[in-house]
Amino acid sequence: MKRILVVDDAATVRLYHRNILESSGYTVDEAVNGIEALEKTLQMQFDLYIVDVNMPKLDGYGFLEELRSHDLPQAPAMMVSTEAGARDRIRALSVGANLYLVKPVKPEELLSHARLLLGEAET
């Protein structure tokens, strides 16, 4: 069973992602900020991260930077942002995001990316 960690401070967005991903049979975990996400990462291994940018305490950039600078299994991460600007995109990619998506992400788009990043053939 593939395990995905959704990191977002907005409960609505977490639920949205959870609904989409769970309906495709993935196990979804949630974290409300970067700190909590890091903590969960230390406790268990995830196959994919879906990370928001703006969060209190430790934002998405900070989380990815922290994650990528540690000797942990490095699962792919999608960063989901409302900013369509090139600077934000480059910043996300340079701190360790593997994909940069602009909100709101359509369910089919999210799923097809997730499937590929989890190494699953199309259905």
Partner 1 sequence: MNPLLEQFISEARDLLPAIGEKLLQLETDPTSAELIKELFRLVHTLKGSSGLFEFPEMTRVLHAGEDLLDRVRDARVAYSRTLADRLLDGMDFVGMLLDEIEATGGINAAHADNSARLAQSLRQLTGDSDEAKPTESGSIAANSAPIGLDCQQPSNSSSSVDLSEIPENLRMQLYRDVLAGAPLTWLEYTPEEDCFFKGEDPLFLMQQIPETAWGNIAARQAWPPLAELDAYRCKLVFRALTTAGPAILHELFRYIPEQVCIVAVPATALLQPCGNENGEAVLEAESHARSFRTIVQTQREILGLPDSDALLPGRLKSIAAALAACLRAIGKTGLLAGLDAALEQALSVTKAGPLLAWLDEHLPEAQALKTAERRAEVTLQAGAQAAEPSAPHPEAAIKFGRRAEDSISSIKTVKVDQVKIDRLMNLIGEMVVAKNSLPYLASRAETQYGLRELSREIKAQYAVVNRIAEEMQNAIMQIRMMPVSFIFQRFPRLVRDTSRKLGKEVNLVLEGEDTEADKNIIEALADPLIHIVRNSLDHGIELPDSRRAAGKPAAGCLSIHASQETDRVLIEISDDGKGIDPDIIKRKAYEKGLIDEAALERITDKEAVNLVFAAGFSTVEVVSDLSGRGVGMDVVRSAVEKVSGIVSLDSEKGYGTRIRLSLPLSMAITHVMIIESNQRIFGVPIENVVETVRVSCAAVHTIKRRLTTVLRGRIVPLVALNDLLALDEPQQLNQDNEMAILVVRLNNDLIGVIVDDFRQTVDIILKPLTGILGGLPGYAGSALLGDGSVLMVLNFKELIK
Would you tell me which residues interact with partner 1 (CB under 8 A)? 9-13, 15-16, 19, 32-36, 38-39, 42, 52, 54-59, 61-62, 65-77, 82, 84-87, 89-91, 93-96, 98-104, 108-109, 112-113, 115-122
Give every CB contact of residue 29 below 8 A, 6+ residues apart in sequence. Answer: 3, 4, 5, 6, 40, 44, 46
Q: From CA 97, how far away is CA 3, in angstroms rounded?
A: 18
Q: How far is the CB of 85 from partner 1 (least distance, A)?
A: 8
Cβ atoms < 10 Å from Cβ of 96: 20
Smallest distance from partner 1 to CB 92, Å: 10
Calculate the CA 74 to chain-centre distance: 12
CB of 30 to partner 1, least distance (A): 11
